[in-house]
Amino acid sequence: MRIGALLLLFAFAPGCLFGQAGSAELLERARELDGREVEFVGEAIGESMHRGDHVWLNLLDGRGAIGIWARRADLPQILFFGSYDERGDVLRVHGVFHRSCPEHGGDLDIHATALEVAARGELKRETLHSGRMALAAGLLLAAAAAFGFWRRKQKARARA
């Protein structure tokens, strides 16, 4: 019986069991987790905002973004921030979760005590699909032909 309960616990609550929380869990359990040490993993997006000896980061875990407040001295070198052209570095953050941070005007944030790069980002490689290019060219030609036909018809009506 105990083994079955442990298996269920491992299967349905890995984030809770090991302390790693996703953005959805942080929002759902904000009152319960307020002031507690959490681990959050997410892609660095946007850009870092330096404020004195601290920095703001936004980390996206695929479901939502969470603001991270960290000391500049603790910040690892971030090579890529997620954007249209780049997939950002994935950071693992340990810190204190604040549901309504009194230091930052009531914002929901994590005050980092440790940060590490879990995976490096990269430039996104966009590939052109020849089938899509051919379809676009065909549709452009069809639209040009339809416009030409319509224009001729309009001129013919104007003469009559």
Q: CA nearest 20: which of 91, 77, 101, 74?
A: 91
Q: Under 8 Å CB-to-CB from 56, ≥6 apart: which residues?
A: 48, 49, 67, 68, 69
Contact 47, 81 (CB under 8 A): yes
- Give mean pLDDT, residues 128-146: 91
Please state, in angstroms and as integers, the Cα–Cα distance from residue 133 to each residue in 32, 45, 136, 138, 139, following that order.
Answer: 52, 31, 5, 9, 10
pLDDT digits over 30-48, tens only?
A: 899 999 999 999 999 999 8
- Give mean pLDDT, residues 128-152: 91
- Give mean pLDDT, residues 142-159: 90
pLDDT for residue 2: 45
Considering the chain, what is the average pLDDT of its residues?
Answer: 84
Contact 108, 90 (CB under 8 A): no
What whole-number distance in Å separates Cα of residue 138 and Cα of residue 129? 14
pLDDT for residue 13: 38
Give the confidence band of 92 by pLDDT, cuts at 50, 70, 90.
very high
Contact 40, 57 (CB under 8 A): no
Predicted confidence (pLDDT) at residue 93 exceeds the cutoff of 50: yes
Contact 121, 89 (CB under 8 A): yes
**Which fold is adopted by the domain 7-123?**
OB fold (Dihydrolipoamide Acetyltransferase, E2P) (2.40.50)
pLDDT for residue 66: 93
Give the confidence band of 17 by pLDDT, cuts at 50, 70, 90.
very low
The better pLDDT of the pair 68, 6 is held by: 68
- Give mean pLDDT, residues 137-141: 93
pLDDT for residue 19: 57
> What are the sequence ranges of the domains in the chain?
7-123, 127-160
Predicted confidence (pLDDT) at residue 1 exceeds the cutoff of 70: no
- Block residue for tokens 């230091």: 103
